[in-house]
């Protein structure tokens, strides 16, 4: 007659395991939430990206000139919730470390001599996969993971006629680089 006590213990054990699993699930937070909380403690969050005429021209030329990814240091300053990028300087990249699908700098922007760096921008020459989260998820792409390890206020991807960017609140945003007439949009208020 030990069948009933054995079944009872089995049911209790299963219920305890299910309850523990449910508690773990309820306490789990997506990686992006944890990163945003950790990053947000460092200062103000950029909610607007403003590119100067020079920065827009540099991006347009670089994007059209190379079949491989390029990388630049965005130099400027933060004003409240806006980051103004005055110019973009070339990052220190070994040509062998630049391919159509990746680019790796040899040093940081500051080590390359660029003071006032507010972020890094790189291109996706094919205009594809311009996101920091895989579509429909809260899972960071390699670009998102790279940004999470950087000290800068924001990161950006040049993707054809738009710049996709992310700030320390881990919210992905977009900025068009062309005007309604199709011309490079050089009207950035400064």
Nearby residues of 51 by Cβ (< 8 Å), 6 or more positions away: 59, 85, 163, 175, 177, 188
Candidate from 102-106, 165-169, 171-175 with smallest mean pLDDT: 102-106
Written as six digits, the tokens of 71 are 């990388």
Question: Over pLDDT 90: what percentage of the chain?
Answer: 59
pLDDT in tens, 20-76: 443 433 333 343 333 333 333 345 689 999 999 999 999 999 998 889 999 999 999
**Where does residue 4 rank: exposed (0-12), middle (13-18), buried (19+ CB within 10 A)?**
exposed
* pLDDT score of 174 more than 60: yes
- How much is the pLDDT for 118? 96
Nearby residues of 33 by Cβ (< 8 Å), 6 or more positions away: 138
């Amino acid at each position: 007659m030990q069948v009933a006590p054995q079944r009872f213990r089995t049911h209790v054990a299963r219920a305890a395991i299910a309850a523990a699993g449910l508690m773990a699930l309820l306490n789990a937070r997506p990686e992006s939430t944890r990163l945003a909380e950790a990053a947000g403690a460092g200062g103000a969050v950029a909610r607007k990206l403003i590119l100067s005429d020079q920065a827009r021209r540099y991006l347009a030329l670089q994007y059209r000139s190379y079949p491989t990814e390029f990388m630049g240091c965005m130099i400027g300053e933060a004003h409240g919730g806006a980051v103004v990028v005055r110019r973009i300087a070339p990052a220190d990249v070994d040509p062998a470390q630049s391919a159509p699908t990746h680019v790796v700098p040899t040093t940081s922007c500051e080590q390359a001599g660029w003071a006032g760096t507010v972020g890094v921008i790189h291109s996706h020459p094919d205009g594809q996969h311009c996101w920091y989260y895989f579509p429909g998820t809260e899972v960071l792409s390699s670009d998102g993971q790279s940004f999470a390890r950087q000290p800068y206020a924001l990161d950006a991807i040049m993707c054809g006629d738009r710049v996709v960017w992310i700030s320390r609140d881990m919210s992905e945003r977009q900025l068009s680089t062309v005007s309604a007439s199709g011309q490079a949009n050089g009207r950035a208020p400064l």
